[in-house]
Each structure stands twice: as structure tokens, then as C-alpha cells.
Amino acid sequence: AKNEGSGKIKVFRQRMLEKLQESRTLEHDMALAIVNKEFVVYYQPIVDSFSQKIYSYEALIRWIHPLKGLLSPDHFIPVAEKTGMINEMGKAVLELACREAACWAVPAKISVNVSPVQLSSKAFAGIVLSILKETGLPPDRLELEVTESSLFTESTTPMNTLNKLRALGVKISIDDFGTGYSSLSRLSRLAFDKIKIDKSFVHSISTQEDALNIIKLITGMAKSLNMKAVAEGVETQEQLERLQALGCDFAQGYLFGKPQPCIDERIRNG
């Protein structure tokens, strides 16, 4: 049994070393990738649940790695956050997305994800404002998606930043709702514009009563706080119908469109 234990530790240590090595080369590759402009933005529609008219596009970062191909953000965002590189990366996404949306013939909104690391920086509000000015995108066409964990901090910077941007017309969505620990009082004080229901609940809406009840709770809460509810990860007609029955305002998912490098031509060209 003793040997077995130390064997396990060896395996564990080996894995830790591998992980370290992996993140070290990833970090190095990422620095190069910024220089080589290997990061691109894909766009996924968010539609009105009832009319199915396009309301917004969410900007989702992708890494076109020269050897590994298309990499999803879950592979590199955590490392970018750890190294602080997310600040530069996030700024680049915001700039690309706002520049893109400013040329659309139809004034759909553009939704951009913001890392808790970016939001804890005092410089962030100024960065957003200068990008809006530079690209000419009206503030009310920009929507920032922040996670609950951004606000789960002692610092008042994230809240101050969001309140300031919101006063200028920028919309704020709380992402992945239901998976974190946001307190109701914090939520009501901030008065976000939207709550995004995490796709894990949407995927179980037809098979688990719990999931259905949680979505019912979130949409009800959104209404009473004067916010809109958005369901993410909608893949089937049945899921959509259940969400409509619960009064969920907006929907996003493969049923309406996958993230793509180019947006619908009717939006782009009118």
C-alpha cells in the first residue's frame, strides 16, 4: 500500500510538471501569436426568442494556431488571465468587434466578453471609451458580458466601472448565471441589463425538472429586477418552445447559428 501511495505521488508530480511545461510553452506561443495576429474573432447571433430577429452578435475569440489549428478560448483564456496577457487580448477583441459592428447596415448590438482580470483594472473604463470614440460605435450598441466572479471581490473598481459605463449607455449582461455565487443584493444594486442563463441548465430543460425550475426562477427574477433573460446553448426547437413558455426574452445557440468568422450578409450590407 505504501508503494502504491508513492507511485501515485510520482504520477501526480509528473502530471504537474507536464501541466507547467504546457502552460509555459502556451504562454510563449501566445506572446508570439499576438505579434503574428493569430487571434481572430468569431460572431454568433443572439435572437429575440419570439420573433427570432437578430438582436446582437456575441464576439468569441479563436486562435488560429499555425500547428494545432483552431483553438477554443477555454484552452488559452485561463493562461492569458494568469499572465495578465488577457488585458491586451481583451482590448484587441473589443477593438475588432466594435470596428466590425460600426460598419453594419443594421444596428444590431455587439456583445463582448470581459474577463474579471480586465474589469479589476482601473484603466478599463477609459479603454472602452477610447475604443468607442475611435470606432464611432454608439455606446448603446455595445454590450459587455461579465461573469458573477468579477463582482465577487472586495474591490469597488469593477462595480464603479460598470456603473460608469452603464450611465453612458453601454449595456451590461451577467454571463453564465446560476453557476457562480452572486448575491441577490449585489445583483439588484448593480441593475444589469441582462442575465444570461448558463447553457448547462438549457441543455437539461427537457430532462430535469430542477433545471426547468431554475430557469423559471431566473427569468422571474430578471423580470422583477427589470432585466431581460437570455438563454445560451439553445440547440433544439423543443428547448426554444420551453424557454418561450417561461417568457425568456432572448436566445442564442446552434439552433440559430454557430459562431462564424463572418456575420449574416443582410446585417452587414442591409
Residues contacting ligand C2E: total by CB under 6 A = 23
Pick the piece of the chain touching ligand C2E (CB under 6 A) from 17-25, 130-138, 185-193, 233-241: 233-241
Q: How far is the CB of 54 from ligand C2E (least distance, A)?
A: 15
**Interface contacts to Ca ion, rule CB under 5 A:** 113, 145, 175-176, 232
Q: How far is the CB of 117 from ligand C2E (least distance, A)?
A: 8
Which residues on neighbouring strands pair with residue 40, listed in sequence order?
Answer: 62
Which residues on neighbouring strands pair with residue 251, listed in sequence order?
Answer: 47, 231
Pick the piece of the chain touching ligand C2E (CB under 6 A) from 3-11, 26-34, 72-80, 159-167: 72-80
Q: Give the angle subtended at the CA of 75 by the CAs of 70 and 76, to the nearest 5°.
A: 95
The one-letter amino acid code at 175 reads D
Cβ proximity to ligand C2E, 234 vs 246, nearer residue: 234
Q: How far is the CB of 133 from ligand C2E (least distance, A)?
A: 21
Scan residues 4-33 and list those touching ligand C2E (CB under 6 A). none
175 near ligand C2E, rule: CB under 6 A: yes
* Contact partner, 90, from Ca ion, ligand C2E, none, Cβ < 5-8 Å per class: ligand C2E
Cβ proximity to ligand C2E, 18 vs 263, nearer residue: 263
DSSP states of the chain: -HHHHHHHHHHHHHHHHHHHHHHHHHHHHHHHHHHTT-EEEEEEEEEETTT--EEEEEEEEEEEETTTEEE-HHHHHHHHHHHTTHHHHHHHHHHHHHHHHHT-SS--EEEEE--HHHHTSTTHHHHHHHHHHHHT--GGGEEEEEEHHHHSSS-SHHHHHHHHHHHTT-EEEEEEETSS---HHHHHHH--SEEEEPHHHHHTTTT-HHHHHHHHHHHHHHHHTT-EEEE----SHHHHHHHHHTT--EEESTTT---BSS--HHHHH-
Scan residues 38-67 and list those touching ligand C2E (CB under 6 A). 44, 60-61
* Contact partner, 235, from ligand C2E, Ca ion, none, Cβ < 5-8 Å per class: ligand C2E
Pick the piece of the chain touching ligand C2E (CB under 6 A) from 18-26, 101-109, 212-220, 246-254: 246-254
93 near ligand C2E, rule: CB under 6 A: yes
Binding site for ligand C2E (CB under 6 A): 44, 60-61, 72-74, 77, 90, 93, 113, 115, 145, 175-176, 199, 232-235, 252-254, 259
